[in-house]
Amino acid sequence: MKTWSLCALLLIGLVGAACTPDHDAPTTLNYGLTLAPTGIDPHLNASAELGIPLTSVYDTLVVQDPATGEILPSLAERWEVSPDGRTYTFHLRDGVLFHDGTTFDAGDVAANLDFVFDPDHHSQKAIFMLGPFERAEVIDARTVALHLSEPFPPLLDSLSQVYLGMASPEALAAWGPAEYQFHQVGTGPYRFVEYVPNDHLTLESNPDYSWAPQIYQREGPYYDRIVFRFYEDPATRALALENGEVDVLGEIPPREADRLDALPEFTLFPVAIPGQPMEFLFNTALPPTNDPEVRRALIEAVDRKTIVDTVFGEHSSVAEGPLSRNMWGYADDVSFPAYDPESAQRRLEQAGWVLGADGRRSRDGVPLSLTVVTPNWGNHPEVSQLLAAAWEAVGAEVEIETAPGFGLLKEASDRGDYSLIGINFFGTDPDLLRPMFTSSGLYNWMNVSDPALDGVLSQAATTAASQSDRQALYADAARAIRDQALILPIRDYVDLVVADNRAGGLAFSYQGWFPLLHDLHPGP
Amino acid sequence: MWAAVTFAFFALRLAAGDPISSLLSQGLASREQAEALRTSLGLDSPLPVQYLRFLGGLTRGELGRSLYTQRSVAATIAGQAGPTLRLALAGLVVAAVVGLALGIAAGTSGTTLLGQAASSLAGFATSIPAALTCVLVLWAATTLARGSPVLLPLTRSESLLLPALALGIASSGALARVIQSGLEDNSRAPYLLAARARGVRPGPRLIWHALRPVLPLAISFLALEAGLLLGGTVVTETVFARPGLGRLLVSSILIGDYPVVQGLVLLAAVVYTLTHVAADTLSAVVDPRLRPST
C-alpha cells in the first residue's frame, strides 16, 4: 500500500514537472572558477579569483569603463578632489538598499573602511590599495569625505575595485572577520547565497537592483541563480565544458581553447588582463647581469615572438614594457631590443666574455653562468626552458630553479643568488610598478637603485596633477627601464575564456578577470 | 603524534617560505606595511616561541586560526572532512570488491587465460599513477556519455562513482595480489586436501575454505589502505573538482597557511593510529588464532 502511494506521488510529481512551461523554470548559469581561493572576503583576502563572483555582489563608489579604464559614477553620483589632492568628497546616490534591506548611506562608507583598517582583521590587499588614507569624515547622510596624508591619484582606481566594495556594516559586525566570508551582504545585481569552500558558491539575482552604473549595457540581472564551481586541474576544464557541467570557464589551455572554439556550441573570448606582463627581472647586483651590456645581449639573444607563439598560441602578444599594452599608462613608443643573436654575441664579446673551444663563454676564467628562478605556475617553466636554450646558443650556462608558490619565490629572491627571476603581477593602476622598481620597494628583486626612477614613480603616484601627467611619467619610467635593460618582458597576459552559446552577452570589466554578470543572459 | 606535529611545524617553515610573502603575493604593500602584518599575526616572534605557543594551544585543545581567514582550524577542517570521508569509504568499497574479484580469479584459475588476465590487470592497476587513473576514468566516462547521454550525470563532479572508481582501482590491484598469493600458498595446505577428500567439490565452497585464512591479512591490508586512501584523495579531489581535505592540504601548503597544515597533519596521525587499531581488532574477529586466550 505504502509503495503504491509513493509511486503515485512520484508520478504526479513527474507529470507536474513535465507540464511546467519552460519560461517559468528558474534559469541557472554554471560558472567555472580555476582556483579555490583560501578566504573570499574581498575586504580581507587578496585573491583575484574571488572577484569573479563577488564583483557582482558589491557595488563600489566608482566604476571603471570596461574599455578605457575611465572612472565613472556608481554609488557616488559625483565627487570632488581638493586642490591639494588630499581630500576626496563623494556625493552618494539615494535609494540604494543592501541585500539585507538596510539603506546605504555615508556612515556605511566609513564603517567599511574601518573594517578594512582594523589591525586585528589582517587585510591582505584592500588596506594597501588605500595608500596614505587617514580617515573618513561623514559630512551628512549623502556626503562623505576621505582624507589622505598625501596626494594619491590611484585612490579612485582602488575605490572601483571589489576589494573596496560596500558591504552592509550590520552584516560585517554580526559575523566578524572569520565568518563574514560565508554571509556576504552587498548592494550589487546578485546577492550572496551560499559558499562551501572547494565545492561551490551560489548567487541569486537581486530583483530590487535599480541603481546599475552605466557600464552595464542591458536591463539585467537575467539569471535567477549562478553557481560557481572550482576546476583547478587544467586538464579537466575542456571536459567540464563539453559534458555540459559549466557554461563559462576561463584559463583554458591554448590548444583546447582553439579546439572548442571550432565547435558550433562554444565561443572563445581571449581576455587581456592588465598589469605587469610575464617578465624576467635581471638581478643588477650580481655578475654577470650587473653589466647592462650583458643584460642587453641576453635580451637580444631571445626570439620572444617565437617563444610566445610556441607556448601560448596565437592569442597572446609579445610584451614590450613593464606594463601590458591594454592598460592606460602603457607607452606605445617604447619597445625592447628585437631578436638579434649576432648583436648579442658581439656585445658579450665586447664585455669581455670570450667564446671558448667548447662553445661556452668565460671571462678571466669565470664561466658565463646564469641562474633563472622561475615560478612553477603560469607557463613560466616552459618559457624558462626556451630562454635557457636561447642563452646556451650564445655561450652561456643556464641553471633553472623552480619555485612552487609565491613564498618560495620571495625566499629565493631574498637569498639574492640568482641572475633572473620570473614574475607577473595583475592590476589596473600603473602604480603597481612602485613596489618593484623603486629602491625601497618590497619587491625590488632587481636590486635597482636609481634616484631618477624613484622620483618619477613616486611623483606619478602622488603629486601628478592629471591623468595625462601621470601617463607621461609612466612613459618616462618605461624608457628608463628599457634603457637600463632591467627586465626581459615576454607576454601580455591573456585569459582564454570559453563559453557555451547557451549563455549570451559575456563581457568583462577593465580589470579583465571579472565578468559583468549583470549583462549575461540565457540564449545567444 | 607529537613527533608528527613537531616535524610539520618546523619542516613547513623551512620548506614553504615566509607566510607573509604568500599573504602579500598581490604585491602592493610597502615594507613597513608587510612588517605590521607580520606583527599583528604574531609571526614576528622567534620560531621556538611560536612553537611553544602552538604546543600550549594544543594542550588546551586549540589548533589555532587560519592566517588567511582568521577562521579556527578545527572549523576549517571540519567543513571539508565529510566529502573526503565519503570518497575514501566509497573508494574502499571499490578496492574491496574489485580486489577480491581479481584476487580470487588470479589465485584460483592459475595459468588459465582468466587467471592470467586477472593477474595482469591487478599488476596494471597497482602500477598506474593515481593522476593518470583519474584522467583516464574521467575521459572514458565522458566519451561514453557523449554516445549515450543517459550516462551524463555520472560524469558531473557531484557524482561519487567515478572518483571512487579512480581512487579504489589503485588499491584494488595491491589487494588482489595479497589475496592471490595467499590463495596460491594455501592451495597445497593439508586442510584443503582433507576438504577435497571429504568430497567438497572445486567451486565456491572450496574457494571459501581456501579464502578463510587469507581474509585476516586482506582485512588488515584494507584497513591500512583506508589511511592511504585518505592521502589518495589529494589527486582525486583535484581532478574531479570535489571539495575535501586533500584539496585543503595542497592549497594550504602552497600558500603557507601553516596552522591549517599542522591541524591536518595531526588529524592524519590520529587517523593512521586508529586504522592500525581497527586492523588488529578486525583481524582478531575473523581469525580465531589471533584472539587472546582466556
> Which chain A residue shows the shortest CA-CA distance from B236?
A233
Answer yes or no: do A129 and B156 touch at CB < 8 A.
Answer: no
Identify all chain A residues contacting B21, using CB atoms and an 8 Å cutoff.
406-407, 409-411
DSSP-assigned beta bridge partners for residue A194 = A202
Exposure on the CB side of residue B200, measured as CA atoms within 13 A: 14
Q: Phi and psi at residue A324, in whole multiples of 5°?
A: -75, 155
Strand partners, A400: A372
- In angstroms, the CA B245 to CA B230 distance is 8
Enumerate the residues of chain A whose CB falls inside 8 A of the CB of residue B242. 198-199
Distance CA B211, CA B188 (A): 13
pLDDT score for A202: 98
Among B27, B68, B251, beta carbon nearest to A443? B27
Element (H, E) at A444: none
Taking an 8 Å cut-off on Cβ atoms, the answer to whether B29 and A442 are in contact is yes
Mutation pick from A163, A181, A377, A406 vs chain B, by most beta carbons of B within 10 Å, is A406
Q: CB–CB of A283/A446 below 8 Å?
A: yes
**Residues facing residue A135 across a β-bridge:** A147
SS3 track for A279-343:
EEEECCCCCCCCCHHHHHHHHHCCCHHHHHHHHHHHHCCECCCCCCCCCCCCCCCCCCCCCCHHH
| pLDDT in the model for residue A4 | 46
Q: Give the span between the Cα atoms of A230 and A199, in whole angstroms.
A: 7
Q: How far is B247 from chain A (nearest CA, A)?
A: 7
- Note the pLDDT of residue B193: 76
Name which of B233, B89, B99, B117 is nearest B174 in CA terms: B99
CA distance A263 to chain B (A): 14
- Chain A residues within 8 A of B80 when measuring between CB atoms: 197-198
Report CA-CA distances (Å) from B131 to A358, A359, A442, B127, B236.
42, 41, 38, 12, 7
The answer to whether the Cβ–Cβ distance between B79 and A36 falls below 8 Å is no
**Burial group, residue A523, by CB count within 10 angstroms (0-12, 13-18, 19+):** exposed
Give the pLDDT confidence score for residue B294 in this predicted structure.
52
- The set of cell numbers assigned to A360 is 661556452
A178 CB neighbours in chain B (<8 A) are 65, 69-72
Query: Are residues B135 and A236, on separate chains, in Cβ contact within 8 Å?
Result: yes
Contacts of A119 in chain B (CB under 8 A): 36, 40
CA A301/CA A295 separation, integer angstroms: 10
SS3 B171: helix
Residues in chain A with CB shorter than 8 Å from the CB of B257 are 38
Give the Å distances, CA to CA, from B239 to A232, A239, A391, A439, B163.
7, 11, 36, 43, 9
Contact list, A39 vs chain B (CB under 8 Å): 66, 68-69
CB proximity list for A173: less than 8 A, separation 6 or greater: none
Residue of A nearest to B245 (CA): A198
Tell me the C-alpha distance between A330 and A67, whole Å. 14
Cα A488 to chain centroid distance, Å, stands at 20
CB contact under 8 A, B70 and A407: no
Spatial CB neighbours of A2, under 8 Å, sequence gap ≥ 6: none
Closest CA to B245 of B89, B97, B80, B118: B80
Task: Judge whether A228 and A53 are in contact, CB under 8 Å.
Answer: yes
Mutation for testing the B interface, residue in A122, A281, A421, A513 having most B CBs under 10 Å: A122
Give the integer Cα–Cα distance in Å for A451 and A443.
17
Report how far residue B54's alpha carbon sits from residue A328's, in angstroms, rounded to the nearest whole number.
Answer: 48
- The C-alpha of B37 sits at a distance from chain A's nearest C-alpha, in angstroms, of 6
Nearest CA in chain B to A406: B22
- The end-to-end CA distance of chain B, in Å, is 33
Distance from CA of B244 to the nearest CA of A (A): 7
Instruction: Give the residue from A117, A128, A183 with the most B CB atoms within 10 Å of its CB, the best one to mutate.
Output: A128
Q: Distance between CA A42 and CA A162 in Å, rounded?
A: 6
Select from B63, B69, B80 the residue whose CB has the most chain A CBs within 10 Å, as the one to mutate to test that interface.
Answer: B69
Chain A's closest residue to B15, CA to CA, is A408
Residue A18 confidence (pLDDT):
42
**DSSP-based three-state secondary structure for B288:** helix
Closest C-alpha among A481, A201, A367, A412 to residue A473: A481
pLDDT at A407: 79
Query: What residues of chain A lie within 8 A of the CB of B252, using their CB?
Result: 38
Q: Are strands A200-205 and A420-426 parallel, antiparallel or unpaired?
A: unpaired
Q: What is the pLDDT of residues B92-101, one digit of tens each?
A: 888 889 888 8
DSSP letter for each residue of B26-92: T----HHHHHHHHHHTT-SS-HHHHHHHHHHHHHTT---B-TTT--BHHHHHHHHHHHHHHHHHHHH
- ipTM, 2 dp: 0.78
CA dihedral A355, A358, A360, A363 (to 10 degrees): -60
Q: Say whether B66 and A38 touch across the interface (CB within 8 A).
A: yes
Q: Do A232 and B37 touch (CB under 8 A)?
A: no
Q: How many CB pairs under 8 A join A and B?
A: 161
Antiparallel, parallel or unpaired: β A275-282 and A487-491: antiparallel
**Alpha carbon of residue A490 to chain centroid:** 17
Average pLDDT by stretches of 10, chain B with 294 residues: 80 74 74 84 85 87 88 92 88 88 79 77 76 77 73 69 84 84 78 77 73 80 76 80 87 86 88 82 73 61
Interchain pair B241, A432: CB under 8 A: no
Nearest residue on chain B to A120, alpha-carbon basis: B40
Splitting chain A (524 residues) into consecutive groups of 10 residues, what average pLDDT does each group show? 44 42 76 91 92 97 95 97 96 97 97 94 92 95 97 96 97 95 97 94 96 91 95 88 92 93 96 95 96 97 96 92 94 94 96 94 95 91 96 96 84 90 92 93 93 96 89 96 97 96 94 95 86
Residue A7, all three cell numbers: 509511486
CB contact under 8 A, B41 and A36: no
Round to whole Å and give the CA distance between B260 and A105: 38
